[in-house]
Chain A
Amino acid sequence: MSVTTDAQLLAQLRRGVIEHCVLALLDRGPRYGFDLVRALAAVEGLGTSEGTIYPLLSRLRKDGLLETSWQPSDQGPPRRYYELTAQGRTALDVFHRHWRSFRAAVDEVLEGDK
């Protein structure tokens, strides 16, 4: 059996939730790319590489979970803003529901004997 390193384990965990973290951030309101990436990268423990968020945003947009619009900026050229679509909101609600029960189940297994 191969031993999973810390980095591999984190990557595996991250892969399953990162999309929904993006959806959750955008649920609070539209954000432009840089702002969103910074907000996500600032969350300690997620360990996201800032650059890889952009391909993720593209994938979510292609899946119809996000939409983009250009808005003027006071500090330079127009910015591309991302916001949730109705489908994205539904996906986030579904994730919320499953996540709570999943987290509770994992916690119960991990801490059951304590």
Chain B
Amino acid sequence: MNAVKHSAAAEWLARFDRVASVLPQPRRGELRQELVEHLDALTAEGTSEEELAAAVARLGDPADIVAAEGLPPVSPARARAGLGLLLLPLTGLLYLTPALPPGLPSMALIVLASLVVLVLVLRAQATAGTLALGVLGALAPPLAGLGGILDKVFQAGHLWTNEPAGPGRELQYVWESDSWVAVLGQLAMLLLGLGLPALAGLRLRRPETPGDTRPALGTLALLLTPAVGLATALLLSGSRLGTSVGTMLEVPLLVTALVCAAVLLAAGGLLLIRPGLVLLTKVLIAAAVLAAPVGVVLLAQHETRFAGVVWDAGTEPPRNAAADMTRAEAVPGSVLAPAPAWVPADQGTRRGLGLLFVVALPLAAAWRVGGRVR
């Protein structure tokens, strides 16, 4: 076993060990032994470091060698986990019966089903990318359901401000979650709760070619960013609508959002340190992972909407309603929902930039990575 003393050979063997983990034993050990013998024979020829490195390179990519073994059949454990994931979205029906939100027994059943599938996924042998997708798929239905319930609770709250419009009369403005974010966020939660386990189930039931899992993990994080970002923006926005539950959960939700941002940043880092990506793709990845959290903040800002005219009890109803409406259409800056100073005041600009940062950039980066690396 002289080969492992040489850095090029040791590094090559370490790469082989990583990608060969999907091969069944004893074949994995047998193939490794043959390759070690090959490397030993190379070393015994007394070649220089440079010649040995060239000889190691001639062995080829370890992933190609493992792929040449043929795709290993899907193990029963893996097939079970895949089936569990495919069936998991059915627990979504429990959200519909007997009433919304589901009662304690239904919630307990949903969580139990999710945990059982999670254990099945963790026991299935898969590459890191597939495993990560499986874990997320197992957790997605209860988390997305919980998110949906929280959104309902949050949106019951309302914040408003009044603007004097004349004697005994005021124009009322409400602050609420952006209407686009409300729709897209709910859609994202539905997509995550139903689509993610199904996707993970299909992936687990399919044999996979071993290889470097970093692109898969990075691409997965980028692909999930739009759905997770929109759902997060909706929940962050809703938590600040004045309900007691929202006030209580505002900080935990913020911490969760920061953890998601850190994971995305790490995934971006994994992609950036991998050789083989062109500069434009790297720039796009960096822009996507840095801008997505900013986009979430932009989308989580409240929209200010004219809600009507209020007048003091005992005074006459307003007669010049048309004038009030005209005035109300141009929402004055003084009634806009509070936002950080750097956030654009215009709702359309905020929404546009937010969707660009949370949806368009990560998808474009994922598309570039998928096209260039694989």
Residues of chain A whose beta carbon lies under 8 Å from any beta carbon of chain B: 33-34, 37, 41, 49-52, 54-59, 75-77, 79-80
Contact = CB atoms under 8 A, between A and B. Distances in A.
B64 A54 contact: no
A20 to B, nearest CB: 16
Interface stretch (B26-34, B168-176, B320-328, B356-364): B26-34
29 contacts: A33-B37, A34-B38, A41-B58, A49-B58, A49-B60, A49-B61, A49-B65, A50-B58, A50-B59, A50-B60, A51-B38, A51-B61, A51-B62, A52-B60, A52-B68, A54-B34, A54-B35, A54-B65, A55-B31, A55-B65, A55-B66, A55-B70, A58-B27, A58-B31, A59-B70, A75-B44, A76-B40, A76-B44, A79-B37
B73 to A, nearest CB: 14
Nearest to A57: B34
A52 B38 contact: no
Interface residues of B, number: 22
Interface of B, helix, strand, loop or mixed by DSSP:
helix
Contacts of B62: 51
Contacts of B38: 33-34, 37, 50-51, 54
Q: Give me the 5 closest cross-chain CB pairs, A-B, nearest first.
A: A49-B60, A55-B68, A51-B59, A34-B41, A51-B65
Contacts, number: 56
B39 to A, nearest CB: 9
A51 B44 contact: no
Nearest to B66: A55
A33 B58 contact: no
B212 to A, nearest CB: 16
Contact of B69 (A33, A58, A75, A77): A58
A6 to B, nearest CB: 18
B34 A33 contact: yes
B44 A56 contact: no
B19 to A, nearest CB: 12
A52 B44 contact: no
A33 B35 CA distance: 9
Contact of A51 (B27, B35, B37): B35
A55 B69 CA distance: 5
Central interface residue in A49, A52, A54, by most chain B CB within 10 Å:
A54
Given A55-B31, A55-B68, A75-B44, A34 B58 contact: no
